[in-house]
Amino acid sequence: MFQIEFDSPDSVVGIDLGTTNSLIACMKLTKPEVIPGEDGNRMVPSIVSLPPEGAPIVGNAARAELIDHPARTVYSVKRLMGRGVADVQEELKLFPFHIAEGSESVIRLVLGEKTLTPPEVSALILRQLKANAEAALGMPVTKAVITVPAYFNDAQRQATRDAGRIAGLDVLRLVNEPTAAALAYGLDKRKQGVIAVYDLGGGTFDISILRLHDGIFEVLATNGDTHLGGDDIDNRLLKIALEDVASEWGEDVSHYGEAVQTLRAAVIRAKEALSFALSATVDFTWHGKAYRREITRELFEGLIRDIVDRTLGPCRDCMKDADVTPEQIDEVVLVGGSTRIPMVRSAVEVLFRARPHTELNPDEVVALGAAVQAGILAGTVENQLLLDVTPLSLGIEIYGGVVSKIIHRNSTIPASAGETFTTGIDGQTNVLIHVVQGERELAKDCRSLARFDLKGIAPMPAGMARIEVRFLIDANGILHVTARDGRTGLEQSVEVKPTYGLTDEQVEAMIEASIDHAEEDYQAAQLAGARIDADAIMTATAKAQKNSAWLSLTDEERQAVTDAANRLQLAYHHEDHQIIRAQIDRLNEVTHSLAERMMNTAVNSALKGTHV
């Protein structure tokens, strides 16, 4: 039985929750190590099957169920995490399983007689990994670092956290997969540099370019193809083999699931052998008949050249988006089992003009990196930067007392984000920047962190000024807020310590308050937004009534505008935002003709005396 010496009761495991396979690892003394299951396999296929009775089947055992019982077996669920039905219509065409009726924002998969959400399916995979680790370590495993693709959005990341919680894991950190790969190779020990992470997995291809500065990774750009991977190579070889068998035997075996899966296993073995041999043989026996074909590496590379070339386009696009050239890339890391293919390694080396790192197992490198991050959090890996997250959202108060969130809760720090705002009053020359922390929609319900003035703004009509507000949280959790007049370049900044003075209980209370008052806050924010829009259109209407175009309207048109403005003024103090919106729409409708005439007047004035 595999046993690991765990460093301390507070140790944390690292998990690569993959599309095709998943792994779990931990720090063993001074290096990370993947934890195998009881069957000795280090990789757990990300496949789940739900039998009519009994416990769910996960991993290699579920792979067999995929052949015999596809309707109750699910794979590649990572592609569905945090996404709605409308987002995954193309993916669903490739899967044998179905979506439950009534699924809209949350997907529910029909697996036999049961239905599960993608996070619940992922939780079953995580539970299997957790059980493997507990058996090997001889102790409970409750804390984990889980890796996610760099392109995962907030919903996909939250779905991953939910899966961990359902599986009984406290997910301390989500780490981007390319960052984990770089950590596994110890590239964080560099002072600075640009790193390309080329990830060719079973079902997807991803390319990420990172910048490392003083131990902090920043993702400059990501690209890829969610339907490109080693499976495409396997399918091409399988198709050729099936055609060969049909020609040689005079029988099409593609309709027999067992035969197809047996032949697939044979071509995969040959493919893997070609990574280190110049030729390999596909051996297939079925119902007393035998098929045997030798494939040379030269033939193999000719068959897959276009698949490899398809990965290079996203790489070029990624470098363009990151604004770097191949000469500026210092390190190249390979991730995913398909990067063992010599042709893939050669193509990557030619494109990036640098020999890629191949020292670690490409199937395991992400899990190993997650274990390094886990070791940092557990305190068993020293002298490395401990990246953290901001516990509550940070933003500024805008017109109407509403909060505009700039850095959201659980964002990994260091973090940087910004937005552009404008003025609400004609001739405004200064803006009060009110920095707040919390999850509520109105500033009065959040914690005030700082206030400062941006003075000397060029006086302009309301809505014309451009005030750029940028938040930066450094590695020490210090918040730096900068406000800049986009036209004059005038700048003002303040330094805030957003998390100091807040206990875990206070943070939890603020989060619970945001949930308890969600509906109330939503209505308040909608009401504030409606009144802001009402102010704007009433001000614009008052100005228009002083324009010469006003006199060109008929008496009936002028009366309609006046009546609509009066009705909006009466509705303004109503507590129902929909009533205010209805009157805004009415005023918009009756002022349409006035707006057109004002525009014509302005154009005619601008063209007066001009000859074409």
Structure tokens at 92: 């669903």
Answer whether 14's CB lies under 8 Å from 373's CB: yes
**Cα(415)–Cα(82) distance, rounded to whole angstroms?**
22
Q: Which candidate in 120, 162, 177, 445 is catalytic? A: 177
Catalytic residue check, 177: yes
Catalytic residue check, 78: yes
The amino acid at residue 61 is: A
Structure tokens at 397: 């108060």
Structure tokens at 352: 């990036």
**Cα(178)–Cα(196) distance, rounded to whole angstroms?**
8
Q: Which candidate in 33, 78, 188, 485 is catalytic? A: 78
End-to-end CA distance of the chain: 90
CB under 8 Å to 187, separation ≥6 — which residues?
193, 195, 212, 331, 333
Answer whether 97's CB lies under 8 Å from 109's CB: yes
Q: Which candidate in 16, 33, 162, 445 is catalytic? A: 16
**Cα(431)–Cα(65) distance, rounded to whole angstroms?**
64
H helix intervals, 291-334: 297-322
Q: Are strands 73-75 and 47-49 parallel, antiparallel or unpaired?
A: antiparallel
Give me the phi and psi of 397, to 5 degrees please: -80, 130
Structure tokens at 467: 């005030």
H helix intervals, 6-144: 60-68, 89-92, 118-137
Q: Which candidate in 33, 162, 188, 199 is catalytic? A: 199
- Residue with tokens 């310590």, as numbered in its chain: 497
**Cα(46)–Cα(43) distance, rounded to whole angstroms?**
9
Q: Which residues are catalytic?
A: 16, 78, 177, 199
